[in-house]
């Protein structure tokens, strides 16, 4: 079997390649060489980048087999997430890989500013011994103001508390209880600026936060205060910062990031580099061996999961989030039920309820909505369908998909129900299960008919007026065609006297045989179901995904999960 192609577009740590393992065809390309990149993407299933490689709409269009873009770092400015989502390409990053490195660099800037270390070094390196010029300040009992008390902000708080600094913070999304747990006092932004001896900013760059520290905010700071930005360029208005520094409104600044990188000649950031009270570094927040290795290993693991058809916790364009091990085995079952559903529908789907009942109700099962939509659309549309773009297909076609969770489940420990309404006014319902310790996926009911059939590659479903000799009729037809029946379930007749048979066969049945069987049986419903079973190595055992459709009019599908 041909190995999936994983393209390494920038230099990554050897541990990244080791984490991928032997199951992939790993290739290398210079991501900054545009023609070479586009050519290499032609048969790539995954591409790993850092910050220099641009994965935009053009690059995505050149990669018809691409399943995942992995950024070995935090920022995603070089990846067109909107175009990737539309193409069904998962985008992952390593959001926690550099948090310790960024926090430590921030502390380094604080110390460098407090003790004037870079300027003193430069002076001494020139042969000068002017100690009086570099009198600094202690951090002891000074106030550090942290704008953005997320993971990095919390790490900085812990480290600077060891210097006996008073720590205050501004973050509208952090509760007072969380701040108290960190030993931090929450204040307004104005209060933080007015009280702090050092201000460090750790916010994401958005239209709301761009330039959030401008001339007005800088004027509120103490003349002896310093401002540090190791987060994102542009959070501080660089023109306003230059004016404040040259006018003596604040004492100094520490900058690792700039609005334009590298700072352009004649630009506002370039002017800051020449000021004696500014400490600068060339975007080194994640530039430690440990951070690079963590980022590479993290995204390598994400790539493996994505190419195995699994959901990835660090995917930025999939609304799945972290998946509990108890929930994970049911994903493939729900996807197959969605594929069954698409085949059963005689007309377009208008709404779909994914009902989860039983013990699973205590868990976050939002991923089941994605799995059901992915399964349903996999044979409905010509484009590649993934967990990423399945909700887009639903939105484009006006399909309302709703997740319903109930603890009550009288018959099964867990049951997942796909209940849909079709454009012709009919409804569909089906039922399946993961049975036993091996978690075998089974269909256990179709539109009120009770059955128990393991989901295999080839099935036949037929409904007919119940009478003796039916099994012999279709058994003879299949035998004459040399097609073996591997399994058979006949559900009891309904109130109208019609029975339902579900057969598992070893190979596809030719159309002419299907027609002869339907006529001989007198079936008002007769469908062949071809399920493409794609084994995925999930954390809780094997899963199954992919599928082909089969159609039954006016039915409802129930999906059952037996944990």
Contact between residue 118 and residue 275 where contact means Cβ atoms under 8 Å apart: no
CB within 8 A of 108, min separation 6: which ones? none
User: What confidence category does residue 314 fall into, taking pLDDT thresholds of 50, 70 and 90?
Assistant: low
Strands 25-28, 68-71: pairing kind: unpaired
Q: What is the pLDDT of residues 117-136, one digit of tens each?
A: 999 999 999 999 999 899 99
pLDDT > 50? residue 58: yes
pLDDT > 90? residue 47: yes
Rounded CA-CA distance 210/203 in Å is: 10
Q: What is the pLDDT of residues 87-102, one digit of tens each?
A: 889 898 887 888 899 9
Strands 458-465, 525-530: pairing kind: antiparallel
For range 36-51, the mean pLDDT: 94
**Phi, psi (degrees; rounded to nearest 5) at 418:** -100, 115
Token pair recorded at residue 168: 């205050």
pLDDT > 50? residue 473: yes
Q: Mean pLDDT score of the chain, rounded to an integer?
A: 87
Report cis status (omega within 30 of 0) of the bond before 262.
yes
182: Cα separation from own chain's centroid: 29
pLDDT > 90? residue 112: yes
pLDDT the model gives residue 312: 78
Lowest mean pLDDT: which of 45-54, 294-303, 313-322? Answer: 313-322
pLDDT the model gives residue 319: 65
Catalytic amino acids? Answer: 232, 261, 283
- The predicted model scores a pTM of 0.61
pLDDT > 60? residue 559: no
Q: What is the pLDDT of residues 359-388, one digit of tens each?
A: 889 998 888 998 899 888 887 876 667 777
CB within 8 A of 148, min separation 6: which ones? 169, 170, 171, 201, 202, 203, 231
Provide the β-strand partners of residue 441: 434
Inter-CA distances, 263 with 260, 269, 282, 285, Å: 5, 5, 9, 17
pLDDT > 80? residue 307: yes
Q: What is the pLDDT of residues 279-293, one digit of tens each?
A: 999 999 888 888 888
Provide the β-strand partners of residue 545: 534
HEC string for 106-153: HHHHHHHHHHCHHHHHHHHHCCCCCHHHHCCCCCCCCEEEEECCCHHH
Task: State percent of the chain over pLDDT 70.
Answer: 92
Q: What is the pLDDT of residues 403-458, one digit of tens each?
A: 999 998 888 888 888 999 988 888 888 887 788 888 888 888 888 888 988 888 88
Among 299, 296, 258, 287, residue whose Cα is nearest residue 101:
287
Among 221, 208, 217, 225, residue whose Cα is nearest residue 173:
208
């Amino acid at each position: 079997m041909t190995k999936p192609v994983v393209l390494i577009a920038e230099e990554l740590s050897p541990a990244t390649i080791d984490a991928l393992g032997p199951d992939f065809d790993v290739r290398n390309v210079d991501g900054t060489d545009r023609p070479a990149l586009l050519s290499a993407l032609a048969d790539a299933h995954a591409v790993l980048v850092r910050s220099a490689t641009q994965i935009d709409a053009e690059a995505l269009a050149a990669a018809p087999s691409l399943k995942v873009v992995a950024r070995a770092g935090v920022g995603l400015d070089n990846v067109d997430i909107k175009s990737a989502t539309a193409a069904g390409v998962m985008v992952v990053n390593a959001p926690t890989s550099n948090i310790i490195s960024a926090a430590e660099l921030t502390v380094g800037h604080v110390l460098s500013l407090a003790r004037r270390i870079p300027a003193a070094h430069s002076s001494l390196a020139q042969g000068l011994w002017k100690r009086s010029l570099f009198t600094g300040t202690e951090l002891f009992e000074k106030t550090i103001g942290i704008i953005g008390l997320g993971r990095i902000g919390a790490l900085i708080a812990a480290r600077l508390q060891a210097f006996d600094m008073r720590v205050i913070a501004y973050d509208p999304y952090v509760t007072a209880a969380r701040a108290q747990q960190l030993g931090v006092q929450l204040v307004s932004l104005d209060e933080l600026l007015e009280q702090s001896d050092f201000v460090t900013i750790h916010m994401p760059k958005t239209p709301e936060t761009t330039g959030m520290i401008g001339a007005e905010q800088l004027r509120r700071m103490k003349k002896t205060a310093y401002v540090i930005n190791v987060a994102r360029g542009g959070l501080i208005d660089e023109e306003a910062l230059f004016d404040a520094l040259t006018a003596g409104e604040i004492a100094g600044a520490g900058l690792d990031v700039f609005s334009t990188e590298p700072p352009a000649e004649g630009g506002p950031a370039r002017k800051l580099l020449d000021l004696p009270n500014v400490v600068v570094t060339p975007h080194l927040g994640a530039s430690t061996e440990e951070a690079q290795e963590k980022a590479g290993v993290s995204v390598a693991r994400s790539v493996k999961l994505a190419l195995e058809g699994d959901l990835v916790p660090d995917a930025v364009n999939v609304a799945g989030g972290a998946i509990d091990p108890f929930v994970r085995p049911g994903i493939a079952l729900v996807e197959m039920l969605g594929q069954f559903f698409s085949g059963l529908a005689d007309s377009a789907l208008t709404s779909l309820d994914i009902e989860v009942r039983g013990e699973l109700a205590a868990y976050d099962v939002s991923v089941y909505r994605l799995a059901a939509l992915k399964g349903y659309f996999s044979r409905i549309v010509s484009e590649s369908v993934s967990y990423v773009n399945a909700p887009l297909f639903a939105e484009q076609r006006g399909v309302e998909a709703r997740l319903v969770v109930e603890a009550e489940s009288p018959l099964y420990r867990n049951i997942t129900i796909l209940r849909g309404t079709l454009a012709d006014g009919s409804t569909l319902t089906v039922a399946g299960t993961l049975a036993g310790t091996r978690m075998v996926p089974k269909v256990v009911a179709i539109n009120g008919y009770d059955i128990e059939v393991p989901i295999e590659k080839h099935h036949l479903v037929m409904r007919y007026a119940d009478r003796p000799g039916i099994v012999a009729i279709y058994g003879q037809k299949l035998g004459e065609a040399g097609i073996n029946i591997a399994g058979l379930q006949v559900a009891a007749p309904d109130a109208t006297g019609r029975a339902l048979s579900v057969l598992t066969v070893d190979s596809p049945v030719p159309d002419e045989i299907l027609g002869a069987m339907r006529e001989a049986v007198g079936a008002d419903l007769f469908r062949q179901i071809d399920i493409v079973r794609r084994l995925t190595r999930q954390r809780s055992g094997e899963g199954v995904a992919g599928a082909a459709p089969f159609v039954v009019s006016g039915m409802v599908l129930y999906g059952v999960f037996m944990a």
